[in-house]
Chain A
Amino acid sequence: MSPANIISEAARKELDIIGITDHNTTRQCNLISRLAEEKGIFVMQGAEVTTKEEVHCLTFFENNDTLRTFQEFLDENLPDFPNNPLIFGHQVQVDEDEIIIYEEKKLLVNAISKTIKEVEVFVHSLNGLFIPAHIDRRKNSIYSQLGFLPENMKADALEVSRATTPEQFSASHPEIIKYPLLRSSDAHYPEHIGTAFTVWHINEPTFTEIRLALRGINGRKVVTG
């Protein structure tokens, strides 16, 4: 999953927009975003946060300032527990020549010390998007960890994995339909990129337009692929 591999696979699959959300880090977003731009692909930059309850939540930020502030939040709240590269691999950040420029020493798969509510509030204070991830999964999902959707949760959308569809999952969980529903690949390997996707009715691929679509404003909308 090097930046170049991600982009060439996304281009081959003719994706117009991709989300880059590493576990508890945003450090590789900027480079991927730049490489993607050259191929006409728009990148939603963010992270897949593991909250204190071990719920995985997608977060996205509109600009590099807020992305950086969120990275500081992650650095502050990720426990100081070292990664074991023999088990989890090396957690590296590379440059465009795939030269390693940074290695994260703390274990990224760990849960941060902030609750799902605290993460939501912080993300929204940065005008970002907060989306509980793969809610259909029996591991690290809002349903597995917290049993059901918390009352009055301020999510911009909910994501289902490629193992189901929004139609299927909402049939057994009708309470989710008050949120926009996304379906994405959660690709951890290049071959999984694009195996599930969401169609957006927007004027142009920008963060602002995506936000409008999530809110269903001015004819923008989300259509699941």
Chain B
Amino acid sequence: MKITDIISALDLKVISGKSGLSNEATGGYVSDLLSDVIGNSKEGQIWITLQTHQNIIAVASLKDISAIIIVKGFIPEADTIEKSNTENIPVLGTDLDTFNITGRLFELLKKE
């Protein structure tokens, strides 16, 4: 599913990385330990996390993550936003917590 379709279905806010919005999401991964994401996420997944540190962009880029969803209305640091724009990785925001946004994303992707 296209990231833009997920954004409208789940009412996500586009925080940065607009140039990557045409990415295709193949699934999802949920973790707040970046070491775990490096080890276990798969190419094309949307990554749901509460971490906002700039390293999330480098991890996403390394693993070819299609987009990052930041939960609970958290705002990423300025350097995270900047890196997301240069790496073309969309950072999306939701006011929901991880459990709820993950459930919705799961249901949405299951329909595919």
* Chains A and B belong together in one complex: yes
Q: Check B54 against A150 for contact (C-beta < 8 Å).
A: yes
Complex CA distance for A151 and B79, rounded to whole angstroms: 11
Chain A 137-151, CB-CB to B under 8 Å as 1, else 0, gives 010000111111011
Q: Which residues of B contact A22 (CB under 8 A)?
A: none
Is A62 on the interface with B (CB-CB < 8 A)?
no
Q: Which residues of B contact A151 (CB under 8 A)?
A: 54, 58
Contact partner of A115 (CB less than 8 A), chosen from B33, B37, B53, is B53
Q: Check B35 against A150 for contact (C-beta < 8 Å).
A: no
Q: Check B35 against A147 for contact (C-beta < 8 Å).
A: yes
Contact partner of B58 (CB less than 8 A), chosen from A53, A145, A148, is A148
Contact partner of A143 (CB less than 8 A), chosen from B35, B52, B53, B54, is B35
Q: Check A116 against B33 for contact (C-beta < 8 Å).
A: no
Number of B residues whose C-beta is below 8 Å from A? 13
B59 (CB) vs chain A CBs: closest residue: A147
Chain B 48-72, CB-CB to A under 8 Å as 1, else 0, gives 0001111100110000000000000
Q: Check B77 against A146 for contact (C-beta < 8 Å).
A: no
Q: Check B54 against A53 for contact (C-beta < 8 Å).
A: no
CB distance from B93 to the nearest CB of A (A): 17
Size bin of chain A's contact surface:
10 to 19
Q: Which residues of B contact A150 (CB under 8 A)?
A: 53-55
Q: Which residues of B contact A138 (CB under 8 A)?
A: 35
Q: Which residues of A contact B38 (CB under 8 A)?
A: 147
Q: Check A145 against B34 for contact (C-beta < 8 Å).
A: yes
Known: A115-B77, A117-B77, A143-B35. A148 touches B53 (CB 8 A): no
Known: A115-B77, A117-B77. A144 touches B53 (CB 8 A): no
30 A-B contact pairs sorted by A residue (CB < 8 Å): A53-B51, A53-B53, A115-B52, A115-B53, A115-B77, A117-B53, A117-B77, A138-B35, A144-B34, A144-B35, A145-B33, A145-B35, A145-B51, A146-B34, A146-B51, A146-B53, A146-B55, A147-B34, A147-B35, A147-B37, A147-B38, A147-B55, A147-B58, A147-B59, A148-B58, A150-B53, A150-B54, A150-B55, A151-B54, A151-B58
Q: Which 6 A-B pairs have the closest CB atoms?
A: A147-B34, A146-B55, A144-B35, A147-B59, A146-B34, A147-B38
